[in-house]
Amino acid sequence: MSVAVRFAPSPTGLLHVGNVRLALVNWLFARKAGGNFLLRLDDTDEERSKPEYAEGIERDLTWLGLTWDRFARESDRYGRYDEVAAALKASGRLYPCYETPEELNLKRASLVSQGRPPIYDRAALRLGDTDRARLESEGRKPHWRFKLEHTPVEWTDLVRGPVHFEGSALSDPVLIREDGRPLYTLTSVVDDADLAITHVIRGEDHVANTAVQIQIFQAVGGAVPVFAHLPLLTDATGQGLSKRLGSLSVASLREEEGIEPMALASLLAKLGTSDAIEPRLTLDELVAEFDIAKVSRATPKFDPEELLRLNARILHLLPFERVAGELAALGLDDADAAFWEAVRPNLSRVAEARDWWAVTHAPVAPAADDPAFLAEAAALLPEEPWDLSTWGTWTGAVKAKTGRKGKDLFLPLRRALTGRDHGPELKNLLPLIGRTRAQKRLAGETA
């Protein structure tokens, strides 16, 4: 049987690093196994699901290179869920309940105050036809709970190892709301079964759902998949990421922070695993290194600074072709490989290339604070064409003529040619600046 996994976000908000890490791990798992990856939108919460969030999810995954082989949308499948619900009702596994949310809260509070777990007491199972008729005549509509078997539920989790739950320690889950709409606990199982998902890889916030859902798989006659529950990412202080979603959304990392897709992928593929985090330029390399057995049970910490450092390391390695589109989007249409190779060692974000473009291609007010020396240097500028050896030839001649060396030689030249104390190697910049500009800048002119 071929491996099939899914990433099943709810389009109720922007994807953040925590969600997209699960997408990536599923994708890597599929690619490694030669299996397929399904993108499923869990959009049955019609009040909170929005088309723009669905589009955002597709955009983010595409940007990262996480292409999907299959696509499904839960809101297209209500007919199928109704069919399954009808069968579960007929077999007595779904039963109608009439408690209001307030009544349920009271029940829970009372159990908790007695030091007991807040498990639903199945009072609705004891209702007779006349009770139900009376409740419905009062205008109450039923929601429907799944009757769990009070037997052990066990699975071998690919991350957590053997997991054991007692059915009797779990509340019968509500699968159908009062308005007839099916809930995630059911829809996810129906989809996983119908779409032949072999491995469910998701966050450890779903461990208790898994216990319940295994029984639902069995009740609907679906093959129970293998499960893997990954610890959720926290921030550097150990707090859950949910409170900082805005700044950690994939969209803001891309659009505001200038993070490269492979920087995010290189980090998220390795975070919380036994592998070192290293810059990788292609997803194929991550596929080759991926093994779910490397995922540890310890809580991984996501540090935006680490991501930015990795972004810089990736930029220092990326060839021009991989950033040409981004440079053009910054308005640097004429940027070429020579420019990119000159400036990339000084960048942590592609957008910073604009500053160096301004130095090589726009007027710069030079810091020409040693005019006599600069005039001597200008007189020694070689004729063009210039190449990567020009800087060495020129400064060799300046050194021989003036007797200056080291910082006394190089810093005034850098300050005059670029207007700055630091920057990319002048060997690389000088040919980009060109003789005309260089000569003017050495003369203290803005050029």
Q: How far is the CB of 193 from ligand GLU (least distance, A)?
A: 13
C-alpha dist (Å) from residue 151 to 112, 154, 166, 346: 23, 10, 6, 62
Q: How far is the CB of 10 from ligand GLU (least distance, A)?
A: 4
CA torsion through residues 135, 137, 138, 142, sign = positive
Measured from the CB atom, is 40 or 404 closer to ligand GLU? 40
C-alpha dist (Å) from residue 249 to 279, 319, 358: 21, 27, 31
Measured from the CB atom, is 230 or 447 closer to ligand GLU? 230
- Helix, coil or strand: residue 203: strand
- With CB under 6 A as the rule, give the number of residues binding ligand GLU: 8
Measured from the CB atom, is 21 or 202 closer to ligand GLU? 202
- Helix, coil or strand: residue 11: coil
| Binding of ligand GLU by 8 (CB under 6 A) | yes
CA 264 to CA 20: how far, in whole Å? 9
| Contact yes or no for 330/63 (Cβ under 8 A) | no
| Binding of ligand GLU by 9 (CB under 6 A) | yes
CA 271 to CA 367: how far, in whole Å? 45
CA 447 to CA 442: how far, in whole Å? 10
State phi, psi for 381 to the nearest 5 degrees: -60, 125
C-alpha dist (Å) from residue 263 to 258, 307, 339: 10, 7, 22
Measured from the CB atom, is 160 or 440 closer to ligand GLU? 160
Alpha helix (H) residue ranges in 349-434: 353-361, 371-379, 390-402, 406-418, 426-433
Measured from the CB atom, is 206 or 244 closer to ligand GLU? 206
Q: How far is the CB of 9 from ligand GLU (least distance, A)?
A: 5
Q: Does the annotation list 107 as a binding residue?
A: no
| Contact yes or no for 268/17 (Cβ under 8 A) | yes
Q: How far is the CB of 432 from ligand GLU (least distance, A)?
A: 49
Bond before 300 cis per omega within 30 degrees:
no
Q: Which stretch binds ligand GLU (CB under 6 A): 6-14, 58-66, 278-286, 339-347?
A: 6-14
Q: How far is the CB of 206 from ligand GLU (least distance, A)?
A: 6
Lookup result for tokens 């500053």: 355
Q: Which stretch binds ligand GLU (CB under 6 A): 5-13, 97-105, 129-137, 160-168?
A: 5-13
Measured from the CB atom, is 190 or 342 closer to ligand GLU? 190
Measured from the CB atom, is 99 or 191 closer to ligand GLU? 191
Sites for ligand GLU among residues 190-249 (CB under 6 A): 202, 206
Q: How far is the CB of 268 from ligand GLU (least distance, A)?
A: 17
Q: How far is the CB of 18 from ligand GLU (least distance, A)?
A: 10
Q: How far is the CB of 173 from ligand GLU (least distance, A)?
A: 14
Phi-psi region of 65 (alpha: psi -120 to 50; beta: other; left: phi over 0): left
Residue in 265, 272, 263, 262 with CA at minimum distance from that of residue 294: 272
Binding mask 34-73 for ligand GLU (x = CB under 6 A): --------x-------------------------------
Q: Which stretch binds ligand GLU (CB under 6 A): 7-15, 96-104, 150-158, 242-250?
A: 7-15
Among 44, 188, 249, 390, binds ligand GLU (CB under 6 A): 188
| Contact yes or no for 233/15 (Cβ under 8 A) | no
CA torsion through residues 222, 225, 231, 235, sign = negative
Measured from the CB atom, is 18 or 272 closer to ligand GLU? 18
CA 218 to CA 231: how far, in whole Å? 26
392 C-beta neighbours (distance < 10 Å), count: 12
Measured from the CB atom, is 143 or 202 closer to ligand GLU? 202
State phi, psi for 234 to the nearest 5 degrees: -120, 170
Sites for ligand GLU among residues 146-185 (CB under 6 A): 184
Q: Which stretch binds ligand GLU (CB under 6 A): 2-10, 91-99, 336-344, 353-361?
A: 2-10
Measured from the CB atom, is 38 or 342 closer to ligand GLU? 38
- Beta strand residue intervals within 221-351, DSSP E: 226-230
Q: How far is the CB of 95 from ligand GLU (least distance, A)?
A: 24
Q: Which stretch binds ligand GLU (CB under 6 A): 4-12, 223-231, 401-409, 410-418?
A: 4-12
Binding site for ligand GLU (CB under 6 A): 8-10, 42, 184, 188, 202, 206
Specify binding-site residues.
Answer: 243
Specify binding-site residues for ATP.
Answer: 243
